[in-house]
Chain A
Amino acid sequence: MIKTDVVIVGAGPVGLFAVHQLGIKGLKSEVIDNLDKAGGQCIELYPDKPIYDIAGIPECTGEELTNNLLDQIKPFKTNFHFNERVQEINSEGDNWIIKTSQNKVFSSPNIIIAGGVGSFEPRRLSVKDAEKYEGKNIFYSISDKNIFKNKKISIFGGGDSALDWALELSKIAKVTLIHRREEFRGAPHTLNQIKKEGKVDIKTKFQLSSISGQNNIESIKIKNDDGKETEVKTDYILSFFGLIMKLGPITEWGLNMDKKTIKVNTENFETNKKGIFAIGDICTYPGKLKLILSGFHEGALASVECFKRARPNEKYRFEFTTSSKEIQARLGVKTK
């Protein structure tokens, strides 16, 4: 069991800055995230897109913001638990016992939920029988490309994943790339390369309409905008329609919810459960704005209440990073 002052659920920008606000108060946190790296929506949805409303930073990308935040919290040597989702929480006295999908167990007086809009999952195909073939003939990501050798592969999507895999797999398999419109979102040079090599059958303005087969997929039907159907012999479907966000087990923790968000007290961003806080996109209150900058403020206020619960015998003192020797020591600043 890992004992800590605060467990943070979500390693997006708001979760990362909460580490900072807790860290300068001398509190240790552990961060859990379902993804394989930090950054949350900033990394998954818009790593290259510019953000213009971070105070003091005229322009940065989602990836740059994430990297800067990771730099900023480096002094606190925080443990990250990636590819894990919090499965279950139970109270034990003044503490919460937190269990993850990898069966790790944490004990902490505080949980900060900075879960955004939920954990990311691949967007699944919705046609009839798709479920039956998932994990067998339908994949949303690729772990071993060798299973596709000399097979017939139908790839769906217009982004980089679809283009990259179409190009890569065309070296070892017969690939059909199917996309709903002429324009591709992915890198133009990859598309040019695919066209130059001429090995991929590109079908644009088509969408999947049905799958047929017995134990394995044998063929699929795709249809164009006018409803005209074409059959494509297929052994495997690779579908790259990006990620969706699902709240998961959080909805079962007895928190006051408003649709997909958690109601909080704006004095300290505590939920209806003592010691459970919600900050960032996942929290709601009158006037809530889903902005990164709002999440930073919410984390700062939550960290004060976390301090009170983690250090019940100490008095919380408000201090500035500019002048506090104690904070500067925690940040590893060498004082002159």
Chain B
Amino acid sequence: MPKITYIDSTGEQRTIDVQKGLSVMEGAIQNKIPGIDADCGGGMACATCHVYVKEEWFNKLPKAGDGEQDMIDMAFEPKKNSRLSCQLIVSDELDGMVVTTPSKQT
């Protein structure tokens, strides 16, 4: 199973196996990773699963669509490498991906 590493705003790292086909958000929720709220449940309607993706991985991801960019506008402290983790689907290619969660989601 691909491994995804979640780093919270204090620097604490958690690496977990996430089943292929699940989103990075679902991987976090199922494993009770703090820092990702996902209030809307993956509907791209809330921006509370916002993460920063490490650059080397950010460039490998399919580009964010308009709907996702619109929501990132509203996220807490968006940056160049901001994504909504509900839109990042785990695959073998993303094995080892590192994401950082913002200091808060709302």
The reply to whether chain A is a binding partner of chain B is: yes
The residues of A with any CB-CB pair to B shorter than 8 Å are 41, 45-46, 117-118, 123, 126, 157-159, 179-181, 183, 185, 207, 225, 241-242, 244-246, 260, 281, 290
Residues on the B chain within 8 Å of A157, using CB: 73
Known A-B contacts A123-B106, A245-B39; A181 and B45 likewise in contact (beta carbons under 8 Å): no
Identity of the chain A residue whose Cβ is nearest the Cβ of B71 in the assembled complex: A242
Of residues 49 through 92 on chain B, the ones whose CB sits less than 8 Å from some CB of chain A are 66, 69-70, 73-74, 76-80
Select one of A117, A126, A207, A241 contacting B46, CB under 8 A: A117
Report the contact-size class of chain B (Cβ under 8 Å from the partner): 20 to 34
Contacting pair B73 A185 (CB below 8 A): yes
B96 at the A interface (CB under 8 A) = no
CA distance A181 to B80 in the complex (A): 10
- Other than the known A123-B106, A183-B69, what 12 A-B pairs have Cβ atoms closer than 8 Å? A117-B39, A117-B40, A126-B77, A126-B104, A157-B73, A159-B73, A179-B73, A241-B73, A242-B74, A244-B48, A244-B106, A290-B41
Residues on the B chain within 8 Å of A281, using CB: 41
Residues on the A chain within 8 Å of B78, using CB: 180, 207
Known A-B contacts A46-B45, A245-B39; A126 and B76 likewise in contact (beta carbons under 8 Å): yes
Contacting pair A158 B73 (CB below 8 A): yes
Residues on the A chain within 8 Å of B70, using CB: 158-159, 185
Identity of the chain B residue whose Cβ is nearest the Cβ of A260 in the assembled complex: B39
Known A-B contacts A117-B46, A123-B106; A180 and B73 likewise in contact (beta carbons under 8 Å): yes
Identity of the chain B residue whose Cβ is nearest the Cβ of A205 in the assembled complex: B80
CA distance A46 to B78 in the complex (A): 22
The distance from the CB of A53 to the nearest CB of chain B, in whole angstroms, is: 12
Known A-B contacts A117-B40, A244-B106; A123 and B74 likewise in contact (beta carbons under 8 Å): yes
The distance from the CB of A332 to the nearest CB of chain B, in whole angstroms, is: 36
The distance from the CB of A292 to the nearest CB of chain B, in whole angstroms, is: 11
Known A-B contacts A126-B76, A180-B78, A185-B73; A45 and B106 likewise in contact (beta carbons under 8 Å): no
Residues on the A chain within 8 Å of B41, using CB: 281, 290
Residues on the B chain within 8 Å of A183, using CB: 66, 69
Residues on the A chain within 8 Å of B48, using CB: 244
Of residues 11 through 58 on chain B, the ones whose CB sits less than 8 Å from some CB of chain A are 37, 39-41, 43, 45-46, 48
Residues on the A chain within 8 Å of B40, using CB: 41, 45, 117, 290
Contacting pair B45 A41 (CB below 8 A): yes
Select one of A117, A118, A181 contacting B69, CB under 8 A: A181
Q: What would be 6 A-B contacts, judged by CB atoms less than 8 Å apart?
A: A41-B45, A126-B104, A185-B69, A241-B74, A245-B39, A290-B43
The distance from the CB of B9 to the nearest CB of chain A, in whole angstroms, is: 13
The distance from the CB of B7 to the nearest CB of chain A, in whole angstroms, is: 20
Q: Count chain A CB atoms within 10 A of each CB in B74, B78, B104 and give the residue with the most.
A: B74
CA distance A241 to B50 in the complex (A): 15
Identity of the chain A residue whose Cβ is nearest the Cβ of B67 in the assembled complex: A49
Identity of the chain B residue whose Cβ is nearest the Cβ of A183 in the assembled complex: B69
Residues on the A chain within 8 Å of B66, using CB: 183, 185
Residues on the B chain within 8 Å of A207, using CB: 77-78
6 cross-chain pairs, A with B, having the tightest CB-CB distances, nearest first:
A290-B41, A242-B74, A185-B70, A244-B106, A117-B39, A45-B45
